[in-house]
Structure 1
Amino acid sequence: MTDTASTVPPWPAMSIAQATALLTASGSLLEIVDAEIDGRPHRVWKNAPPTLMHSFMAGRAHGEKTFLVYGDERVSYEAFARATLALAADLQARGVKPGDRVAVAMRNLPEWPVAFFAGALVGAIVTPLNAWWSGSELAYGLKDSGSVVALLDIERLERIGPALNDLPDLRHILVSRGEPSAADPRVARLETVIGESATWAALPPGDMPAVPLNPDDAATIFYTSGTTGSPKGALGTHRNAGCSVMAGVFSICRSALRRGEAPPTLDPTAPQKSGLVSIPFFHTTGCNAVLIPALVTGQKLVCQRRFDAEEALGLIERERITMIGGVPTVAIQILQHPKRDEYDLSSLETVAYGGAAAPTDLVRQIEQATPAKAGSGWGMTETSATHTHHLGEDYLNRPDSCGPAIPVGRMKIVDPNGHELPTGQVGELLAYGPNIVREYWNKPEATAETFVDGWVHTGDLARLDDEGFCFIVDRAKDIIIRGGENIYCQEIEAVLFDHPAVAEAALVAKPDPVMGEVPVAFISLAPGETVDAATLTALVASRFAAFKVPTEVIITADPLPRNAAGKVVKPELKAWLTARAAE
């Protein structure tokens, strides 16, 4: 009788350093070479798509394979390419020049990647805007970026409404999936340019715009919420956008080598991989770590109108989904769904997530309940999504880590004076690499504070172990991450302060088993004033997207706890929430 246990190779079969050296050696797909970017030395992927044009061309090579699925709509790679080139020609006819900003604000429709790549191919700086934002927030993004064209779905157009009159830079608005209710000479239907998705395959083949693109040209502005002030636009380059294409392939190959297996190869004749898209394309993760890698490698992307766990289970079965990516909330809701066992999940190979804290037991639950390997990573808008990642046994053995840096990236931990700390000590995490964005759009002071000598100050508190695995222990920045969506406290507190009954307001994170965190507001009343929680909740809801609205408002007549500097001591408020939950 064969002892099957003895045939399983010991794990790890090789060290992180050994696996990295093998995968990135000269002549390999994942080869790394030296390059200079902005006068600084970097290591870069030799075979990464140098520009978004190259990513687009790689995608078109997949021909009649299915690229996008949305409800009953199915779009091939070739149909997507034809629609993109038709829209690119139209943008040029409207006077869009290299360096102009072209905004995209819509849900994950098939039109989203068409709009994104059409803008990129004509040399514009594509500016994805958060489709969950309120009208005033969307108007801020359009005005701050100075966008000359906006590509919107009908919901985003109606949400902006009267604010359009305050956007003098905006010359053209192309709207999909509906008839505009208000007359505006700048507005036209996107369908008059490219038609509906079912007709894209019948469009002319199109011509590539004669616009030279270089790896370090500005390509995107993704908005990120910080702890103070308004959202900042992170100016990314074409090179930034190509980094995650290689990072995902590398992580899968390294995991196989560590397991003692041969790394998988990109076989064009193999069954098509397919991903369930549960994260918006307007996020740097949804675009740079999901959309662009899928385009280059020929995956099928299945998009939901909005995430629904049972619908997702049905799509996994129907579309033979091999990969689920997004925030931990998605995996949690799928695992916890009472009808999970009624669906065939045998096609799943990978369930990966990031963007929010994940329960340390989630990786074990995934690997026990599904055939998939679980993966986790860390990144931010300023790192163009993925900067660390690990998968399978590496994640199982370090469930509280987000993995080591991608091999073209570096990390270090520093003290408040900027001095590098030894392995194992906690300090601020700094990141470096060809994936780091150039600057914040039109914000030189914030740029100088955050980007120093090529290193981005993340504001996260972390430690590194002796193999380079990163452990995020807290966030120095005052950000609440609800289901992967950033909420910065000061803007919510400022609105609460607008109510005359409010003397003090503090927003803190409350742990949540599904969303990761939810915002809770603490309110101290002004003397002699009264207000109820529903009124304050409605006040915030009238100004901001729903995900930013506090799930609970706690009102007290007593002052909030403050330190000697006069700042509210939020850890005390969080401790009070913890104690109450334990009662």
Structure 2
Amino acid sequence: MTEFHSDLSCPPIPDDVSTAQFLLDSHHPTRPLRSGNIPWLIEDKTGRTIGYEELRSRTYGLANAMHARWGIGNDDVVCIFSPNHVDYPVVIWAAHRLGAIVSCANPAYMMDELVHQLAVSKSFLVISHPDFIDTALAAVRRCNISTDNIVLIDSPAADGPIHFSTVSHLILEGLASSASFLDIKLAPGEGKTKLAFLSFSSGTTGKPKAVAIPHYAVIANVIQMAAYHKVNEPYTTWDKRRFRPGDIAAGVLPFFHIYGLVVNMHWLIFCGISLVVIPKFNFVEFLKSIDRHKVTHLFLVPSQVVLLCKHPAAKNFDLSRIRFFISGAAPLSPELTQQLIKVIPNASIGQGYGMTETCATISMIPVSQHIGTFGSAGQLIPETTARVVKADGTLAGYDEEGELHVTGPQMALRYTNNEEATRETFRDGWVRTGDQVKISRSGEIFVVDRLKEVMKVRGFQVAPAELEGHLLLHPDIADVCVVGVPDEYSGEVPLAFVTLEQRAAQKAKANPEGGDELKKSIIKHVSDTKVHYKWLKGGVEFIDTIPKNPSGKLLRRHLRDKAKEIVAKRTRSVKSKL
């Protein structure tokens, strides 16, 4: 066996429509019919429901206003800098109606991080949440983008910025005006190359890169998942079907992340599921939302699973309505899965696997399983092919380990404006995942290790090279290597091995307290300028020299092993004190 395939197939995937046209204007045989009273979105805080007609109308109004005011059109880039919001999909689909590209940015980004995304994506218009307007303003000024090209996705507080247009204001303006645009028309096959998103990923190394995702990839992934889960097939009784129009899912995963963007926003809406839009994850408030909206479906990441299993507040809420649960973005341990079964006893529970470069999903728990095989990331979804490539370049068979390479209609095209990184990851239609896996005879994918350097912190990618480059700006650091260390809540967190400049090293050796202050200074150097999940929660360790091979490449694996020893020693020390 040299290649692995799903036994399932898909109906035809349209290649001549945008995501907006696919979701708002057309029907597909894998899509169930949703009655008119089933909302598409539910605003968590207010309970306000938003249906098809309102979403379609708001999308048109915003597209009309964006084209009339700024001439937004073919291949212009609109950046969304906001937490989840009920108008998030409206902004995306309005841009797509105009032929524009959307780049979703993490609202927790510091100014330099947002500048990087705006510059690489060449964004023209920025849709910001008012809570993050100061960062947005600083970033657009650095990028020489006019501050007139900032729009607020929500109304500001009474003491907030009032001189910016809001999305709602633009929608009213667009609906009150005559049509200024024509919906884009794609030729047959054009959807495979016409870009929908520039989603940022660290890939296997380095700073975040703009993953070029065409409309066809998003539409394909939605149809693949729908066919895989038999969403529109009467394969069992209604009460036992996994996805039913009228079910309710918690939309707590961030829409700027590929998991929340494609799986939660596009796929669940396609399936007829009502999505509760939750702007920010606060565990106790999240539990209240589950109870308040009678949520039946949860899509989470392992750090959130840890809270479900271990936070005392979870025992105060009735989670018996949960019918389906899936974890993604990082592996979920068998031990945690066993605990989760006790917390949500009525739910089917499993995992999925994917990445930004594969436009989200390549594998999921199959319909045939109520509880997914422990440790498994599920089975390949339809039309997806995988190879497991061993270290010597040969193809592995069943239960043999190697790097996972995948191909299918959902693959992204490239890293925009980065030919070197593209050559490393995208090869003849195949994506090198950087993950070491093995595939069992039953088709289960087991992620064994990560070959790539990128860490996964709470499901977010953190590139060591980005932190290392920033740390080298610290005046007391001569050399540095960042590695991930295991963490029960976050999966892993960054730890920095630091070689100090001579004077600072002498000071640290002569005065242990001074060394501790220096470590705090280094940790602050990162926390002052980087988003919270990139902070050095694993700490700082001073080391005489950073190990490298003869060509100067960091021997990161050596320090990764050393870091595990340090963490184990810390754990033993804590236990002995207890």
Same-fold call, TM > 0.5?
yes
Please tell me whether the aligned partners of residues 524 and 558 of structure 1 are also in contact (alpha carbons under 8 angstroms).
yes
Describe how 1:208-287 pairs up with structure 2 within 5 A. 209-213=182-186, 214-216=190-192, 217-253=194-230, 261=236, 272-287=246-261
Please tell me whether the aligned partners of residues 88 and 121 of structure 1 are also in contact (alpha carbons under 8 angstroms).
yes
Structure 1 residues 522-551: Cα deviation after superposition (integer angstroms, max 9, x where no partner): 223232314522111110112211110111
- Which of the numbers 333, 342, 351 marks the counterpart of 1:359? 333
Distance 1:521 1:267 in 2: 44
Distance 2:477 2:424 in 1: 33
Match of 2:267, SS state, is helix
Structure 1 residues 477-531: Cα deviation after superposition (integer angstroms, max 9, x where no partner): 1111111111110111122222222233222212122211111222232323145
1:176 to partner: Cα distance: 3.0
| Stretch of structure 1 that moved more, 173-182 or 475-484 | 173-182
- Which of the numbers 51, 57, 67 marks the counterpart of 2:25? 57
1:412 to partner: Cα distance: 0.4
- Which of the numbers 67, 71, 80 marks the counterpart of 2:45? 71
Q: Does 1:129 align with 2:105?
A: yes
Distance 1:48 1:99 in 2: 16
The residue identity in structure 2 corresponding to 1:315 is: S
Q: Does 1:156 align with 2:135?
A: no
Distance 2:245 2:362 in 1: 29
Structure 1 residues 97-149: Cα deviation after superposition (integer angstroms, max 9, x where no partner): 12111111111011211111111111111111122211111122112111221
- Which of the numbers 355, 358, 373 marks the counterpart of 1:383? 358
Change (3 A) 1:289 1:271: closer
Please tell me whether the aligned partners of residues 351 and 375 of structure 1 are also in contact (alpha carbons under 8 angstroms).
yes
Match of 2:339, SS state, is helix
**Unaligned stretches of 5+ in structure 2?**
28-32, 509-514, 573-578
Describe how 1:76-475 pairs up with structure 2 within 5 A. 76-77=50-51, 78-93=53-68, 94-168=70-144, 172-178=149-155, 187-194=164-171, 209-213=182-186, 214-216=190-192, 217-253=194-230, 261=236, 272-370=246-344, 371-391=346-366, 394=369, 396=371, 398-416=373-391, 418-475=393-450
Structure 1 residues 185-220: Cα deviation after superposition (integer angstroms, max 9, x where no partner): 9x5333321369xxx9x9899999432134322211
Q: Please name the residue that 1:534 is paired with.
A: 520
Change (3 A) 1:505 1:447: same
Greater RCO structure (CA 8 Å; 6+ sep): 2
Q: Please name the residue that 2:465 is paired with.
A: 490
Q: Does 1:574 align with 2:563?
A: yes
Distance 1:572 1:54 in 2: 48
1:373 to partner: Cα distance: 0.9
Q: Please name the residue that 2:490 is paired with.
A: 515
1:576 to partner: Cα distance: 1.8
Change (3 A) 1:265 1:211: farther
Count of paired positions: 539
1:351 to partner: Cα distance: 1.2
Match of 1:339, SS state, is helix
Distance 1:506 1:267 in 2: 46
Q: CA RMSD in A?
A: 3.4
Distance 2:228 2:309 in 1: 24
Distance 1:441 1:431 in 2: 20
Match of 1:287, SS state, is helix
Distance 1:330 1:183 in 2: 34
| Stretch of structure 1 that moved more, 327-336 or 101-110 | 327-336
The residue identity in structure 2 corresponding to 1:287 is: L
Distance 2:434 2:121 in 1: 24
Match of 1:361, SS state, is helix
Distance 1:453 1:245 in 2: 23
| Stretch of structure 1 that moved more, 442-451 or 274-283 | 442-451
Match of 2:48, SS state, is strand
Q: Please name the residue that 2:499 is paired with.
A: 524
Please tell me whether the aligned partners of residues 414 and 422 of structure 2 are also in contact (alpha carbons under 8 angstroms).
yes
| Stretch of structure 1 that moved more, 333-342 or 405-414 | 333-342
Change (3 A) 1:207 1:334: farther
Match of 1:528, SS state, is helix
1:182 to partner: Cα distance: 11
Q: Please name the residue that 1:543 is paired with.
A: 529
Distance 2:519 2:176 in 1: 54
1:71 to partner: Cα distance: 0.6
1:63 to partner: Cα distance: 4.3
Please tell me whether the aligned partners of residues 497 and 541 of structure 2 are also in contact (alpha carbons under 8 angstroms).
yes
Q: Please name the residue that 2:542 is paired with.
A: 556
Distance 1:169 1:309 in 2: 37
| Stretch of structure 1 that moved more, 111-120 or 502-511 | 502-511
Match of 2:25, SS state, is helix
Distance 2:181 2:238 in 1: 35
Match of 2:503, SS state, is coil
Change (3 A) 1:573 1:267: closer
Change (3 A) 1:290 1:508: same
Distance 1:184 1:303 in 2: 25
Distance 1:48 1:311 in 2: 42
**Unaligned stretches of 5+ in structure 1?**
1-15, 25-30, 34-44
Match of 1:215, SS state, is helix
Change (3 A) 1:223 1:430: same
Distance 1:499 1:267 in 2: 52
Please tell me whether the aligned partners of residues 48 and 242 of structure 1 are also in contact (alpha carbons under 8 angstroms).
no
The residue identity in structure 2 corresponding to 1:65 is: I
The residue identity in structure 1 corresponding to 2:560 is: P
Please tell me whether the aligned partners of residues 308 and 340 of structure 2 are also in contact (alpha carbons under 8 angstroms).
no
Q: Please name the residue that 1:7 is paired with.
A: none
> Under a length normalisation based on structure 1, what TM-score does the superposition of the two structures give?
0.84
The residue identity in structure 2 corresponding to 1:553 is: G
1:168 to partner: Cα distance: 3.7
Change (3 A) 1:377 1:205: farther
1:403 to partner: Cα distance: 1.5
> Under a length normalisation based on structure 2, what TM-score does the superposition of the two structures give?
0.84
Match of 2:275, SS state, is strand
Distance 1:347 1:448 in 2: 47
Distance 2:367 2:314 in 1: 22
Q: Please name the residue that 2:575 is paired with.
A: none
